Amino acid sequence: MHVPKILETDFGAGFMLLTDLGTTTYISVLGEKNARPLMRAAIDTLIRLQQTAREGVLPLFDEAFLRREMELMPEWFIGRHLGRKVSAEERKTLDDTFALLVQRAQAQPQTFMLRDYMPRNLIICEPNPGVLDFQDAVRADHV
């Protein structure tokens, strides 16, 4: 996998020096003529990433994590963006929907998950793609 190499760190000061993979993102060049080879390389890399999953290394994408993520919608979208309060009836609908989504998510095969794996975080370079933005990686295990 083509990822930035860590050259130096000062975690106490919040710094990390990485190699530069360039500035040409998939999203900036993706088109009808190159979509198939670019996305094939991206999928192949994602499969390799998922095969690296090891227990105990990444945070778990468990029920608590899922619920925290889903609560962003009523808090940020409805509350902050729309400026509305969620009614008791809407809250009940959200709670029922969230419970179903948690149940369905936990029934799926579980593995390494890189939640921001998208063309904005994939860089055109050799070998393709360069992969950025790992801070949201989680391990989705059965709870």
CA angle (27 as vertex; 22, 29 as ends), nearest 5: 75
Percent above pLDDT 70 for the chain: 97
* Beta carbons of 94 and 106 less than 8 angstroms apart: no
Please write the tens of the pLDDT for every residue from 13-25. Answer: 999 999 999 999 9
pLDDT at 4: 92
Quote the pLDDT of residue 141. Answer: 60
**Higher-pLDDT residue of 25, 58:** 25
Cα–Cα distance between 78 and 87 in angstroms, integer? 11
Looking at residue 138, what is its pLDDT?
Answer: 80
In sign, the C-alpha dihedral spanning 79, 82, 83, 84 is: negative
Model pLDDT, residue 120: 94
How crowded is the C-beta side of 16, counted as CA atoms within 13 Å? 7
d(CA 49, CA 130): 12
Model confidence, pTM: 0.72
Give me the pLDDT at residue 15, please.
Answer: 94
Give the chain's domains with CATH numbers.
6-139 (3.90.1200.10)
Check pLDDT > 70 for residue 41: yes
Distance from C-alpha of 143 to C-alpha of 134, rounded to nearest angstrom: 23
* Direct distance between the N- and C-terminal alpha carbons of the chain, in angstroms, rounded to an integer: 29
12-31: b (≥16 Cβ within 10 Å) or e: eeeeeeeeebeeebbeeebe
Whether pLDDT at 142 is above 60: no
pLDDT digits (tens, 9 = 90+) for 77-133: 999 999 999 999 999 999 999 999 999 988 887 777 787 889 999 999 998 999 998
Instruction: Give the model's pLDDT for residue 143.
Output: 41
